[in-house]
Structure 1
């Protein structure tokens, strides 16, 4: 299993950060276009909630569409939320999104634990491709968020 952590400081209020990140409609904006990311589920309001199921189509390799379904398992308003894969490309996916108010803005911390399927073969594919792709997605997100909100 892999554990990756990413942090970013944004010069926005905690309320503004929470409003943006807790709205599933904003996921597409912070996902690289080459991923072909489309949210296919209907929203139940603009804010996420524990038990919410979010379905996507994503095209991570050669434009081949994969269905992905996550559940928002935990939400503590303006502090953190957790999404977990229920079915999709990973054997395991657990993603924590933390928001900490700091001087001049917000520190966002993501903690991602994932495991790819296919045992030893999957581990090779992860080392050669998937881990770099996941890191690239978070680098892209950081760039887009800096363009949108600025940086500290």
Structure 2
């Protein structure tokens, strides 16, 4: 069983409070996801994040084929971190940790995603040229969009 990890760090010139308000609102995930992903929240985005919250989405990750994705917010420590875990969707396993830390002149955000692909050896074969680049592209888009929204950390 192969578990992959994606880690990103971004600094923004906003307060910890501003960062937390933005990221703890599930509706804002639509803003920082590329349009071509066809990402749409179906339910569970009617309040700020809390442990046990289930959020349903549709997403079109491959060939424009819509897929349902269901995540649960499993852990939340106010202004420090939250964790979302896939319950149903494209991965065999998805565990996404979001950490927030106040730094001089802004906030540092760290994402750590541990994931496993379905289809055994086939998933492992397609990972380096299909899944890994696509995830990197999505998180690169997210960083670019956040910089557009909040500015560049200096």
TM-score where L is the length of structure 2: 0.96
* RMSD of aligned alpha carbons: 0.7
Over 3 Å off, 4+ runs: none
Contact in 1 for aligned 2:13/2:152 (Cα 8 Å): yes
User: Which structure 1 segments of 5+ residues have no match?
Assistant: none
Work out whether 1:4 is the aligned partner of 2:23. Answer: no
Supply the distance in 1 between the matched residues of 2:139 and 2:37 (Cα, whole angstroms): 13
SS at match of 1:29: coil
Gaps of 5+ in 2: none
Distance 1:88-1:30 versus aligned 2 partners, 3 A rule = same
State the match for 2:98 in structure 1: 97
Which secondary structure state, in structure 2, belongs to the residue aligned with residue 31 of structure 1? coil
Distance 1:42 1:113, change over 3 A: closer
Correspondence for 2:119: 118
Provide the rounded CA distance (Å) in 2 between the counterparts of 1:32 and 1:39.
14
**In the superposition, relative to structure 1, how do residues 32 and 127 fare at CA in structure 2: closer, same or farther (>3 Å)?**
same
How much has 1:44 moved relative to structure 2?
4.1
Question: 1:107 aligns to what?
Answer: 108
Residue of structure 2 in register with 1:76 after alignment: 77
In the alignment, structure 1 residue 60 sits paired with structure 2 residue 61: yes
Q: Distance in 2 between matches of 1:16 and 1:66?
A: 32
Equivalent of residue 20 in structure 1, options 22, 30, 39: 22
Structure 2: distance between partners of 1:92 and 1:28: 22
**TM-score, structure 1 normalization:** 0.98
2-structure distance, mates of 1:43, 1:23: 7
SS at match of 2:121: helix
Instruction: Summarize deviations over 1:52-111 as a string: whole Å, max 9, x none.
Output: 000000001111000000000000000000000001000000000000000000000000
Aligned to 1:88: 89
